[in-house]
Amino acid sequence: MAQQGAVAYCALLVFVIDGHALNTFFIFEIHPWSPMPVLKRLDQLLSNLGYCSRKEARYLLKDKRVTVAGEYAKSPAQKVDAATVLVDGEPLDFPEGILVMLNKPLGYVCSHDSGEGMRIYDLLPERWEFRNPKIVSVGRLDKDTTGLILVTDDTKLVHQLTSPKHHVDKLYQVTVNSPLQPDIIEAFAKGVVLGDGAEQCLPAKVEIISENVANVTLNEGKYHQVRRMFAACGYHVEALHRSQFGPYSLHEPGQDLGQGEWQVVDFPA
């Protein structure tokens, strides 16, 4: 994303009478500065944003579906500022990059492979899947887990939010098959040992909400971690829902997304 800066101007004024300097003044001003827009070939820009292939761009131009700065585009090769381009009268979809928060329904997979069943990408505009860089999920939720999943074309952000080094908090609501005992709070706080004892989780926070429901906050992303942690404590997870991932939440005011709904959100500061 482009960053704004500032330009400083300094001037020296000297008043001279009869060859003698009387007064000297410095004038110092700071003015906002914005970088020059990056110009790209029109066909490459349209292709990267999923509107068409580079070869197909000429047909959009021929049909007068593309304008640049209010004029019909003349050549697929012309260099353009993305902010000045319209397709079918609409601005381009997020040429600076995209970050989507989606409330994943039950039964959907976080895979691009249509052979695996219903995909989260089927819930988004079709052309977004043809963007370059490709949109991907930030981590994954399994088929039987619902809730917040982020989708982006920013690979650095994916690493920032999923790398174990960054310890990004994730909040889940868990429903289990039997009444929760208070000792699970201490077990999670100490770090649950998984499986045959060869792998220990980092400490996590459990808040018991009702007899069979708890909120769990953790900052790791091991395979099926929440289900395995509860299994290690003698419970079977019947429902799992993620409501928060780092600074993003499904249930902020004005941001209460229903199942299958999504919205574009700002990149983290």
Cβ pair 99, 22 in contact under 8 A: no
- Given the residues 142, 144, 169, 256, select the one marked as catalytic: 142
At residue 87, the 3 state secondary structure works out as strand
CA distances from 235 to 141, 175, 179, 180, 239 (A): 20, 10, 9, 8, 12
Kindly state the helix (H) or strand (E) to which residue 228 belongs, with its residue range.
helix 225-232
User: Does 266 qualify as catalytic in the annotation?
Assistant: no
At residue 159, the 3 state secondary structure works out as helix
The pair of three-digit structure tokens given for residue 39, joined into one six-digit string: 């110009």
Cβ pair 38, 44 in contact under 8 A: no
The number of C-alpha atoms within 13 Å of 150 and in the hemisphere containing its C-beta is 26
**Cα separation, 45 vs 37, whole angstroms:** 14
Give catalytic residues, as residue numbers.
142
